[in-house]
Structure 1
């Protein structure tokens, strides 16, 4: 039976498990959207395509299933770019339907013509055009299979007139999901066991590739008496029920995690492709286990690289190594971790009712949010406060822009997550810069009745950039923001909105905000003078910050220096 290419594409996406399509309708995809209208797929009408790609990525990251975004030719498809990069780097299985001009005009510099393949093949696991109607189902199935199995974005390019063509659609092309056991060879496991046996101070460093292997990581840590440090993306599943957990390393990490990695003589890097070379240990042997062989030794020279699933590899290793009693390496790391946690708690104490510290705001949220809440955070300081002050309990989920590092990701990603989990509390921690970058899709929350809760850290600045400039010894420049009353703005468009400027008013306002039945926004004025303190202060950073202070005083900004000292060093 013949169908239009539009019908074939939509049916193939349905069969692959997709539930929603995010986009804006128009010209070259009108026949596609008409086929969506007649299907089980839900069309989510966003106001900006970048939001659609971020929302699709948020949904797919949390569910592990396919989501779709679709755009018109030229500007429509191009608006997806940043959201596609973010979703791809997060490993979210998204299929993008990128339409193009009619085939009769291709190559003639027709208005809105864009070479979609050149743009999207750098941020996708699959990027192909449907060049004949008979290919429609086959191409879409390949795209869906690549997105689901390789964990990334797949792009299908379709000319506008191709959607109207008919295809026989007789062959039963379908997505196949394999579940292989991947582990190193016996000889490699023996080599790993020998390295473990001869090492004195072992640290386990667990990344996103250890998801699903929490039981094995815990068993290995207890067997070796080893501390477990983790990456930012593995916070949600490593922190809970992991007695040997000592936190994170890196600029966003804590001292215990950093020292556990720096002070070992063998680092077992499990499912992590941690990007920052300066935080790998000097002089230690590094063993890296990853299912992707191209990741081995990519960030730091390693002693042994093994291709394998983390859980399967640990299961093979454990019978070959002796059990150890916990030693000083672990006890030192755990003692420091307790100090780190206590330091975070101290920094979150509110001692001045006229001043709301972002740490205090986040700690209040941690106490009041649901046990199974899902949190997103904008790139910049909201991401730091999430990582340091929201507790993982095995039920909560977290998503931040850690690999792409974009602004304005939080509430668009929360939108897709909320649609996938309508019964759960989904909370976006938004910077005021991120919020104002993609503010238009607050209207989507209202129109589509998506009950996301938005918390705005309103410090009237691009705070993380301000901190970067000061640490470089520069006067902060062009970072100030003149913001509206976001709560009043939210009310004007039909959602619940409130503003808090005093710490004494925070708890009641937050309770009302969390209890709202629909989308709700809480605008909180937080201290602008808060520094994101790294786990270790380098001498150069101190000198550069002092240089900033001197420049600020000479430029008549002495009050800011006093505020900076008070808020970060005198509390």
Structure 2
């Protein structure tokens, strides 16, 4: 039976498991959206295509299933770029239908003509044109298969007139999702086991690549008395109920996580491609990764092995001798408990004149559902999430840790909520991030997406301000003249709440979480909070002091006093 290319594309997407398509309709995809309207796929009409790519990425990341976005030629498809980069770097299986002008107009600088392949092939696992109707099902199936099996964005480029053409569509092209296992060979495992047996102080450094290997990680830690440090992205899988967990490494990490790596004489890095070289220990490192190109690219390593985390660690377990010395483990477990106490106490004494953002995060942790999904904007909301929200095995977390983009929290939460309508989905937004894509507040109402938005309103680009101060600079161009976001929300049809001081926060948060439909809580938080790394360098202290001197001479004495009160005189 003959079908149009638009109908073939829609049918193939449905058979690949897609349930929603995010985008804005128009010109070159009108025949495609018409086919969508006659299918079981749901079209989610966003107000900006970047939000559509974020939303598709949020859905795909949380479910592991295919999510789709689609855009018109020229500006329509180009607006997806940043959200596509974010989704791709998160490993989210997203498929983008990027349309182009009709084929007779290609090559003549026709209005809105853009070479989509040159743009998208640099951040995708698959990027191809449908050049003939007979290719339609095959290319879409291969694109979906690449997104699902390689973990990333696939792009299918279609000229507007191609959607209207027909084909007999007799070949049965479909998506295959194999799940192979891989591990190092026996000689390599024996070499690793010998290194473990010889080491006195072993630390496991586990990343998101070990998300399916929690039990094997715990078993290895137990056998060799090793503390486990995890990356920020691995928090939700490796932290809950793990008696060997000592936290996180890096600028967003904690003292125990940093010290457990620095004081080991052997670090086993598994499923971890942590980017910041300055936080790798100057120690003997063994790296286990499924991708051989990742071995040794962040720090010099002693041994590099290819394998999936669970299979490799399970094979290693029987080859290593059990250790009895627990001094290394117990020392860093004690440090971790001290770090946790510091986090729990942060901002616990309400100041009637301000709200510490850590206090907001602690209250949210106590009041949010045990299976809530938390998604944060980049910057300080991400820090408060990672440090103050407890992972319990049911909660989910998503941050822009690899792409580091503003404005991702709200739209990613849209995708997560549509995928899990019965779960509480909370977007922890910066005031800069929310205002960047604020038009998509209207999407929450139009598409009936009852997410909860928590705005950390410090009237500044807080993380940028902190970076400038730590470098000894007086902060410039970071101030935000904000509206009352709760009133903006209400103007859009969203229930709005506001808190100006700590005494108001508890009741406001209760009402916000209980409100039916989408709701926004605007919290005025202290602007002068610093994100303190686990190891404060003398140069950072000196630079912050230099900021104070410069700010005083610039007539900003009140800010210097507030900075000292908030961070050094508690």
Which band: TM-score by shorter chain? over 0.9
Report the counterpart of residue 183 of structure 1 in structure 2. Answer: 183
d(CA) in 2 for partners of 1:265, 1:279: 16
Alignment of 1:96-245 (within 5 A): 96-245=96-245
Report the TM-score, using the length of structure 1 for normalisation.
Answer: 0.99
2-structure distance, mates of 1:434, 1:82: 14
Q: Residue 149 of structure 2: SS of its match in structure 1?
A: helix
Q: Which residue of 2 aligns with 1:544?
A: 543
Cα drift, residue 327 of structure 1: 2.0
Q: Is the 8 A contact 2:347 2:358 kept in 1?
A: yes
Alpha-carbon distance in 1 for matches of 2:152, 2:328: 38
Say yes or no: does 1:569 pair with 2:557. no
Q: 1: CA distance between counterparts of 2:375 and 2:536?
A: 28
C-alpha deviation, 1:348, in angstroms: 2.9
Q: How far 1:328 sits from its partner (Å)? A: 1.7
1:454 match: 453
> CA–CA distance in 1 between the matches of 2:269 and 2:404?
23
The CA distance in 2 between the partners of 1:478 and 1:115, in whole Å, is 35
- Matched residue, 1:431: 430
Please name the residue that 1:501 is paired with. Answer: 500
Shift, 1:338, TM fit: 1.1
Question: Partners in 2 of 1:168 and 1:535 — Cα distance?
Answer: 63
Q: Deviations over 1:153-204 (max 9, x none)?
A: 0000000000001011100000001011111111111111111111111110
* Structure 1 residue ranges, 4+ long, deviating more than 2 angstroms after superposition: none
Distance in 1 (CA, whole Å) between partners of 2:422 and 2:325 is 43
Q: Within 2, Cα distance between the matches of 1:297 and 1:271?
A: 13
SS at match of 2:563: helix
Q: Write the mapping of 1:20-31 to structure 2, written as runs, cut at 5 A.
A: 20-31=20-31
CA deviations on 1:467-509 (whole Å, 9 max, x unpaired) are 0000000000000000000101111111100111021111111
The corresponding residue for 2:68 is 68
Q: Distance in 1 between matches of 2:347 and 2:116?
A: 47
**Is the contact made by 2:469 and 2:547 (CA closer than 8 Å) also made in structure 1?**
yes
2:313 maps to what in 1?
314
Counterpart position of 1:87: 87
Q: Contact 1:247 / 1:254 at 8 angstroms: preserved in 2? A: yes
Partner of 2:259: 259
- Superposed CA offset, 1:364-412 (max 9, x none): 0000000000000000000000000000000000000000000000010
Shift of 1:142: 0.4
For structure 1, which runs of at least 5 residues remain unmatched after alignment?
none
Query: In structure 1, what is the Cα distance between the partners aligned to 2:181 and 2:469?
Result: 49
1:485 equivalent in alignment to 2:477: no
Q: In the TM superposition, what are the counterparts of 1:440-479 in structure 2 within 5 Å?
A: 440-479=439-478
1:326: Cα distance to partner? Answer: 4.5
Residue 556, structure 1, aligned to residue 550, structure 2: no
SS in 1 for 2:323: coil
Q: Residue 351 of structure 1: CA displacement?
A: 3.2
Q: Distance in 2 between matches of 1:520 and 1:360?
A: 20
Deviation, 1:343, is 1.0
SS in 2 for 1:518: coil
Per-residue deviation at 1:353? 2.4
CA contact (8 A) 1:182 1:309 kept: yes
2:552 and 2:560 in contact (8 A); partners too: yes
Q: Distance in 1 between matches of 2:16 and 2:297?
A: 33
CA contact (8 A) 1:350 1:357 kept: no
Q: Distance in 1 between matches of 2:251 and 2:313?
A: 29
The residue that corresponds to 1:39 in the other structure is 39
The residue correspondences of 1:280-429 to structure 2 (distance < 5 A) are 280-282=280-282, 284-429=283-428
Corresponding residue for residue 51 of structure 1: 51
Q: Say how many residue pairs are matched.
A: 570
Taking structure 2 as the reference length, the TM-score comes to: 0.99
Aligned equivalents of 1:440 and 1:524: distance in 2?
20
Give distance in 2, aligned partners of 1:104 and 1:439: 38
Counterpart contact for 2:350–2:503, Cα < 8 Å: no
After superposition, the C-alpha distances for 1:291-332 in whole angstroms (9 at most, x for unaligned) are: 111111111111111111100001110111111125221111
SS in 1 for 2:318: helix
Distance of 1:139 and 1:348 partners within structure 2 = 54
Q: Give distance in 2, aligned partners of 1:343 and 1:222.
A: 27
Whether contact under 8 Å (1:374, 1:397) holds in the other structure is yes
Match of 1:518 in 2: 517
1:355 Cα deviation (Å)?
1.3
Q: What is the DSSP-based 3-state SS (H/G/I as helix, E as strand, rest coil) of the residue aligned with 1:455?
A: strand
Equivalent-residue separation in structure 1 for 2:347 and 2:94 (angstroms): 38
Give me the whole-angstrom Cα distance separating, in 1, the residues matched to 2:488 and 2:51: 19
Tell me if structure 1 keeps the 8 A contact 2:350–2:502.
Answer: no
| Structure 1 contact 226–326 (Cα < 8 Å) conserved | no
Please list the CA deviations of residues 14-67 of structure 1 after superposition, one character each: whole Å capped at 9, or x if unmatched.
000000000000000000000100011000000000000000000000000000
How far off its partner does 1:274 sit?
A: 0.4
Alignment partners' CA distance in 2, 1:326 and 1:80: 54
On the 8 A contact 1:296/1:305 being kept in 2, the answer is yes
The whole-number CA distance in structure 1 between the counterparts of 2:492 and 2:144 is 37
CA deviation after TM superposition for structure 1 residue 339, in Å: 1.1
Contact 1:350 1:356 in 2 (8 A): no
* Cα distance in 1 between the residues matched to 2:77 and 2:265: 49
Task: Give the match's secondary structure for 1:392.
Answer: coil
Output one character per residue of 1:490-546: Cα deviation in whole Å (capped at 9) or x when no partner. Answer: 111111001110211111110111011100000000000110111011011111111
Distance 1:301 1:2 in 2: 58
Aligned-residue RMSD, C-alpha: 0.7
1 CA distance for matches of 2:379 and 2:349? Answer: 22
